[in-house]
Amino acid sequence: MKKTILLVDDSMPMLFLLEAVLGKEYAIVTAQDGLVAMSWLMNGNKPDLIVTDLQMPNIDGWELLNYISGSYLFQDTPVLVLSGFYKENTGDLHLKCPNVREVIQKPFDPTKLMQKIGYLLSGTLSVSA
Amino acid sequence: MNTFTADLLKNEYIQTVNTKVITLNAPDREKFILVVGTSKMEQALQEKGFAFIHVKQLKDVRKTLTVFQEITNEMPVAVVCQYAKGLENNLQEYWSNGGSFPPLAQMPFFILADEKPIEDVQHFRARFRFVDDIITPNAWDHLEAKIATITKFKKISSFPAGEQQEVAAPRYTRHFLSNFMKRGLDLVVAPAILLPLLPVMLLIALLIRLESKGPVFYAATRAGRNYKVFKFYKFRTMVPDADKKLKELQHLNMYTDKKDGPVFFKVSNDPRITRLGKFLRNTSLDELPQLLNVIKGDMSLVGNRPLPLYEATTLTTDSYAERFLAPAGITGLWQVKKRGKKEMSIEERIELDISYAHQRSFRYDMWLILNTPKALVQKDDV
The separation between the first and the last C-alpha atoms of chain B, rounded to the nearest angstrom, is 77
Q: What is the ipTM of this complex?
A: 0.90
> What's the pLDDT at B29?
53
Q: Are B352 and B256 in contact (CB under 8 A)?
A: no
Option in A12, A38, A96 nearest B170 (CB): A12
Three-class SS state of B278: helix
> What's the pLDDT at B265?
61
> What's the pLDDT at B14?
40
Q: How many domains, chain A?
A: 1
| pLDDT tens sequence across B230-243 | 999 999 988 887 77
The verdict on residue A127 lying in a domain is no
The verdict on residue A15 lying in a domain is yes
Band (B260; pLDDT cuts 50, 70, 90): low
Three-class SS state of B340: coil
Question: For testing the chain B interface, which of A8, A16, A56 should be mutated: the one with the most B CBs within 10 Å?
Answer: A16
Band (B25; pLDDT cuts 50, 70, 90): very low
Q: What is the mean pLDDT of residues B83-109?
A: 81
Q: What is the mean pLDDT of residues B317-341?
A: 86
The CATH number of the domain holding residue A80 is 3.40.50.2300
Q: Which range marks the domain in which residue A56 is found?
A: 4-122
| pLDDT tens sequence across B101-111 | 778 888 899 99
Distance, in Å, from the CA atom of B21 to the CA atom of B42, rounded to the nearest integer, reads: 12
List residues of A whose CB lies inside 8 A of any B CB: 9-14, 16-17, 20-21, 32-33, 35-36, 38-39, 42-44, 46, 56-59, 63-64, 66-67, 69-73, 75, 84, 96-97, 106-111
> A33 to chain B: which residues are within 8 Å by CB?
165, 167
The verdict on residue A78 lying in a domain is yes
Distance, in Å, from the CA atom of B55 to the CA atom of B79, rounded to the nearest integer, reads: 10
> A73 to chain B: which residues are within 8 Å by CB?
121-122, 125, 133-134
Of residues A35 and B252, the one with the higher pLDDT is A35
Task: Indicate yes or no: CB of A71 within 8 angstroms of CB of B133.
Answer: yes
pLDDT at A20 over 50: yes
Can you spell out the DSSP letters for B45-84? HHHTT-EEEEESSGGGHHHHHHHHHHHHS---SEEEEE--
The verdict on residue A128 lying in a domain is no
Give the pTM. Answer: 0.83
Task: Please tell me the least confidently modeled range out of A56-60, B85-89, B159-163, B340-344.
Answer: B340-344
| pLDDT tens sequence across B137-158 | 878 889 999 999 999 999 888 8
User: Cα dist. B15→B8, B9, B138 in Å?
Assistant: 12, 10, 35
| pLDDT tens sequence across A6-19 | 999 999 899 999 99
Percent of chain B surpassing pLDDT 90: 36
The verdict on residue A118 lying in a domain is yes
The verdict on residue A11 lying in a domain is yes
Three-class SS state of A124: coil
The verdict on residue A129 lying in a domain is no
> A10 to chain B: which residues are within 8 Å by CB?
167-168, 318
Average model confidence (pLDDT) for chain B? Answer: 80
Q: What is the mean pLDDT of residues B39-60?
A: 80
Of residues A34 and A85, the one with the higher pLDDT is A34
Distance, in Å, from the CA atom of B320 to the CA atom of B132, rounded to the nearest integer, reads: 37
